Every structure is written in structure tokens, then in C-alpha cells.
Structure 1
Amino acid sequence: MKTFISAVLLCLSASIANAAGIKFAQILADAGGPALKAIVWTPCSEPAQEVPIGPYVLKGRRDCPTAGEKLPLIVISHGYGGSYLGHRDLAETLADAGFVVAAINHPGDTFSDMTRADDMSVFVERPTDIKRLIDYMLSAAPDAARIDPQRIGFFGFSRGGYTGLVLAGGNPDFPHADITCPDPRAPICKQVRSGEVSTDHLTHDARIKAFVLADPFNAFPTAESLKNVQAPVQLWASQFGGAGVLPRNADALARTLPRKPEYHIVSDAAHFAFLAPCPAAMKSNEPGLCVDANGFDRTTFHEQFDEMALTFFQTNLR
């Protein structure tokens, strides 16, 4: 594995010369849902700079003119209470390599708005959020004419992985899924028990041709619930899981998907190892999210993880 990764890095080093352009976007509310806040990374021919945003320092160039034509698009879905910056290192790697990358904050289930994070409605609305993001990127976005609509990929972490499986054609079965409910009084737990929220009309999107899923929340217990997921999948699992994702969930998903995924288990890692490495101040303030146990080196892992995700998308979005 180490030899393979080194070879990939060597091959890519000659071709990745551009910075990542960084742009912010607001997708207006419409009949499909509320307003969406988005950040877009694009190929840029100018040198990278440090771009401070909140507690983070991004590597790129604000509002850089986009370089290239017929560019592939990757959309990103964060996990429970996450943000569109949670996978910024992957976005930078992809944009540096010639991809347009767009991420959103899911309304009601993001760091600044947790009003519906514990309600079943967000599981219905998350896939629609991503569909609306793709619609925007292909029509109203400033770079719409530069994007190849036949080359769209998806990255999702945790609940974002669930979101990707629905978009790929999956139909969740919450009452029979192997999911934990630590607080039975929580609204979502009561709704699962009662079948209160229907998932019969979830949004699928055949425009997405390839999926990278990291520690996905697996609400798909049977082959029947996944029978329509035919796109190629790169599936990642942490050894220890966490945040409601059980270590056995990804194994079950790998066995149940109708098309065998490219499957990777990350030794000594827990769930939040898939988030981008944190700045020093956040490690002190948010150790649960930012500090890894068992001697796990998140920075080194992400160098490998980002390049392997890039290679998967390059292979499957030709």
C-alpha cells in the first residue's frame, strides 16, 4: 500500500501545479427547500495564498478566475452538525488537480444551525439539498459553462455518506437498520419507532457517476434497500467508528452493495479521523473532534486518503 501511494504521489506531483480558487455562493430558497450556503473550490492558475476563514486557514486564492473547460464536478456532504469546511483538504486536492468542488451547510443539521439535527426530516431533505446544489452548479453558478455535466462525483462523511447512498438509488429502512439510539426520548428515536416520517419519496440523482463514502451512516439493512445503487463506490471505514456509526456497519454495507466497492479499513482510526486535520487552537477547544487516540497520525493519513480519493474520481469520471 505504501509503495502504491508513493507512486501515485510521484505521478501526480508533475501534473498538479494550480492553486485552488475559493468562492462563496448563496443558493436561493425555492420550492425544493431553504437557502443553502455553499463554498466552491476551482482550478486556478495563480499561486496559492493563505486564506483565513473562521478558525481555519485554507490554501488557495479568493475569487480566482477558473482555469479550464469541461471540468468534472465533485459535491460534498458533511456529517452531523458539520460544515462545508470539514473536508477542505480534500476539496483543495481535487481543485488543484482540475476538479470543481462544491460543498454546502445542510440547513438544520450544521454547526451554526442544529434546529432539526435530531429530527427525521433532515434525512429526507439532505439528498434534496445536494440535488439543488448540483442544479445550481450546472445552471446559475458563474462557472456553470465550464462544468461537464457528464462527470459528476460525490463525497460524503457519516450522515453525508447516507446522503450519497440515497442519491445513488438507495432506499433506507430505518426501523430495521442496525443503528443505535442512545437517548430513546430524542425526537428521531420516537419517529423511527412510530414510522412517523415517510422515506418513500427520497431524492435520487443519476447525474452522479461515482461516490466516495467515509464511515457512512448505514440505514440500508438489506440487498433490497440497495439494489438500485449501481455506480462505483470507494468505501472507507474507521476501525473503531463512533458518533452512532458502528465498526460493523461498513462491513455490512460492503457485503450488501450490489456492486463490490473499493473498500478500505483505516487501522487505529476512529470516526472523526476523516475530518480534515484541525488547527492547534481547535485541538485545545474541540479535542473530541480533533485529537486522535492510539497514536493515529491524522495529517499523514489525509495525505494518503485525499490522493486515493482523487485517483478514484479520476478513474471513474473519465
Structure 2
Amino acid sequence: MRNLFVATLLSMIASSGYAAGIRFFVIPADAGGPALQAVVWTPCAVAPEPIKVGPYRLQATKDCPTVGDARPLVVLSHGHGGARLDQHDLAETLADAGFIVAAISHPGDTATDMSRTNEASVFVERPNDIKRLIDYMLGSSADVARIDARAIGFFGFSRGGFTGLVLADGVPDFQHADIPCPDELPICKLVREGKLPPQQWTHDARIKAFVLADPLDAFPTAPTVAHIRAPIQLWASEYGGDGVLPETTPALAKLLPVQPEYHLVEGAAHFAFLPPCSDELAAIVPRICVDGQGYDRAAFHNEFNRDVLAFFRAELLQASNSNAAR
């Protein structure tokens, strides 16, 4: 009966036919950290329209009232020097399917603020930023009454994938990690000299399922991931890039104590996990927009977004139903 109930819920959400609403907001500074620039996508009953936000081209309706109740929540964490809109196509796909999706720009490691991008503090604060985002969404947000707190998922790309592994109860070991790291960067110098101080890492058991795309892998041994038990969908590009070596994500897949749903994307480099770029974005940062000859990023994202949605549907609805039955 339980499987039939979950299947029915999946069918209801699959046929819901929502559109994506979008709303920008700021999470105030508090004892946990500075103000966070945030965005939320929600199920909306109004047809989306093209929106230009800086170099991004979005398909959503601004400030649209959220439709429905008991919505699963997915939080997003961008990569090195990224921003809250980096995975906008995935967020739109999830909101179209009935999810609430929230993202922040990580202070000190964003496109507009790279002031601490190579300091140890950024790696420590990233998981705490996501915890603060979840706290806000469940405590003070306009959608608090519409979120199912039992059904929270996480998506992270690159350093965002690192962030997710920490939140899932991983404990990084930079000293032994296989990460290209030049000595002129402060964190690299500390690691090389064995002077990186012990860190307090933020874990969050409220997150029930994780999707990680080409994560920066500071988890080189079994003990560093020994306590990770949540279901994971793990994506690896064939060629890697931006500090992620091609061999590290497959190695991580073998280390994880619970076998992940693993996908190797042939012909892809690291930035293929970002949506196809607008002409304006390609002119500003071409390195994140150019793929290998013949690689079709748009076609890949149709498949990628579909598979991520299917994973979150299965895992988060199962988590919600299982907790309700207790």
C-alpha cells in the first residue's frame, strides 16, 4: 500500500502542470553570518515569461503567489565564484513540477565578491550558509506554511558539491585530498605546510537527499565519508576542470558507504553542468560557456534536469511519506 501511495503522489506531481514563479530577497545578517542574497522559485499558476537579470535569461513569473501546500524544498549551492542564479534552468524545472527551490550567493566566493574565495573560512562557512538558508525558509520566509519540512533536498555544483558532502556528515581532509592547489593561494600554503587549523563543520540532518555535480573532492579516504547515509545522485564530467580532476568523482562514488546513483557524462567538461549561456554571459566569462567541439550543452541539460527531478521526486516524497507514517 505504501508503494502505491508514493506512486500516486508521484503521478499527481508529474501531471500538475505548474509554472515557475521567482522572488528575490535578502536573509538578514545575524550571529551566524552576514546577509545572504537569495532567490526562491515556487510553483505558480501563471504562465512564465522571459526575464533578464544581469547576464541571465530566465523563464519565470516575478512575485507570483505560491500554489499548493506541503511542497518539497530543494536548496542550491553554486560553485567557485558563482552566484544564486547559476542553476536557474534546474530550478525552473523543479518549480514547474511543484517544488520550492531556494538558492543563495555564498559571501566571499561569488561573481561579485571574490574577497575570500581562496581562504579556509569560505569552505567552513559554505555549509553554514545553507543551514541558515534552510532555517530562514522554515522560519521566516513567505512560503513557510507551504513547505514540507520532512522533504528537503540539496543540489550542489563544484564547491557546492563539497558543501553538500559536508552537510551530509562528511569531514574534509584537505591534507590528503587530490586537488590542484598552487602555493600562492593562502589555503594551499597552509595545507602544504600542515598548518591548516582544525575546523568546526556544519552538518544538517534535515536534508534527506543530495544531488552533487562534479564536487570538489576533499574526501579522499573512507573515514572522511563514513557517516554519510543519505541517498546521493552523483554526476561526473569526463574531463573535469576548475580544480576537479576527472578521476576524483568516480573514486568518491566507490568510497561512499551507501552506493550513489552515479552518472558519468561523456564528452563533458566541468562547466557543462551550468546552463547554456546567454550571449552576454558568454562575452563576460567565456571559459564557463564554451564546450568541446560537438558537445550539445542544451541537449544534455534537458536530460540532466529530467534525471535530477526524477531523483528528488522519488527520494523526497519517500522521505515525507516515511516520516508521516512514524
Q: Compute the TM-score of the two structures, normalised by the length of structure 1.
A: 0.94
Which whole-Å CA distance do the structure 1 matches of 2:49 and 2:267 have between them? 33
Contact 1:283 1:290 in 2 (8 A): yes
Q: CA deviation at 1:193?
A: 2.2
CA deviation profile, 1:235-270 (whole Å, cap 9, x unmatched): 000000000100001011000000000000000000
Which whole-Å CA distance do the structure 1 matches of 2:304 and 2:30 have between them? 36
What SS is found at the alignment partner of 1:64? coil
What amino acid maps onto 2:184 in structure 1?
Answer: R
CA deviation profile, 1:180-223 (whole Å, cap 9, x unmatched): 11x21211111212344435420000000000000000000111
Which whole-Å CA distance do the structure 2 matches of 1:304 and 1:177 have between them? 31
What's 1:191 paired with? 190
Identical pairs, percent: 59
Which whole-Å CA distance do the structure 2 matches of 1:258 and 1:199 have between them? 24
Contact 2:14 2:97 in 1 (8 A): no
What amino acid maps onto 1:313 in structure 2?
Answer: F
What SS is found at the alignment partner of 1:175? coil
Which whole-Å CA distance do the structure 2 matches of 1:196 and 1:163 have between them? 22
Deviating more after overlay: 187-196 vs 134-143: 187-196
Contact 2:24 2:38 in 1 (8 A): yes
Which whole-Å CA distance do the structure 1 matches of 2:198 and 2:69 have between them? 38
CA shift in 2, pair 1:75/1:199, >3 Å: farther
What's 2:93 paired with? 93
What SS is found at the alignment partner of 2:67? coil
Which whole-Å CA distance do the structure 1 matches of 2:12 and 2:150 have between them? 23
Deviating more after overlay: 147-156 vs 196-205: 196-205
Contact 1:124 1:199 in 2 (8 A): no
Contact 2:154 2:210 in 1 (8 A): yes
Which whole-Å CA distance do the structure 1 matches of 2:79 and 2:14 have between them? 33
CA shift in 2, pair 1:199/1:268, >3 Å: farther
Question: What does residue range 89-168 of structure 1 map to in structure 2 within 5 Å?
Answer: 89-168=89-168
What SS is found at the alignment partner of 1:317? helix
Contact 2:25 2:37 in 1 (8 A): yes
Deviating more after overlay: 289-298 vs 144-153: 289-298
CA shift in 2, pair 1:74/1:14, >3 Å: closer
What's 2:40 paired with? 40
What amino acid maps onto 2:35 in structure 1?
Answer: A
Which whole-Å CA distance do the structure 2 matches of 1:34 and 1:191 have between them? 25
Which whole-Å CA distance do the structure 2 matches of 1:25 and 1:167 have between them? 23
What's 2:209 paired with? 210
Q: CA deviation at 1:286?
A: 2.4
Aligned positions, number: 307
What's 1:302 paired with? 301
RMSD: 1.4
CA shift in 2, pair 1:57/1:248, >3 Å: same
The runs of 4+ residues in structure 1 deviating greater than 4 Å are 11-14
Q: CA deviation at 1:43?
A: 0.3
CA deviation profile, 1:254-298 (whole Å, cap 9, x unmatched): 000000000000000000000111012322342211011131100
Structure 2 residue 21 is the aligned partner of structure 1 residue 53 = no
What SS is found at the alignment partner of 2:309? helix
CA shift in 2, pair 1:186/1:60, >3 Å: same
What amino acid maps onto 1:161 in structure 2?
Answer: G
What's 1:81 paired with? 81
Q: CA deviation at 1:62?
A: 0.4
What's 1:4 paired with? none
Unmatched runs of 5 consecutive residues or more in structure 1:
1-10
Which whole-Å CA distance do the structure 1 matches of 2:119 and 2:100 have between them? 32
What amino acid maps onto 2:174 in structure 1?
Answer: F
Which whole-Å CA distance do the structure 2 matches of 1:290 and 1:215 have between them? 16
What SS is found at the alignment partner of 1:20? strand
Which whole-Å CA distance do the structure 2 matches of 1:80 and 1:199 have between them? 22
Which whole-Å CA distance do the structure 2 matches of 1:105 and 1:142 have between them? 19
Which whole-Å CA distance do the structure 2 matches of 1:12 and 1:177 have between them? 44
What amino acid maps onto 1:110 in structure 2?
Answer: T
What's 1:279 paired with? 278
What amino acid maps onto 2:189 in structure 1?
Answer: K
What amino acid maps onto 2:166 in structure 1?
Answer: V
Structure 2 residue 15 is the aligned partner of structure 1 residue 15 = yes
CA shift in 2, pair 1:221/1:56, >3 Å: same
Contact 2:124 2:199 in 1 (8 A): no
Which whole-Å CA distance do the structure 2 matches of 1:162 and 1:198 have between them? 19
Q: CA deviation at 1:23?
A: 0.5
Which whole-Å CA distance do the structure 2 matches of 1:302 and 1:198 have between them? 40
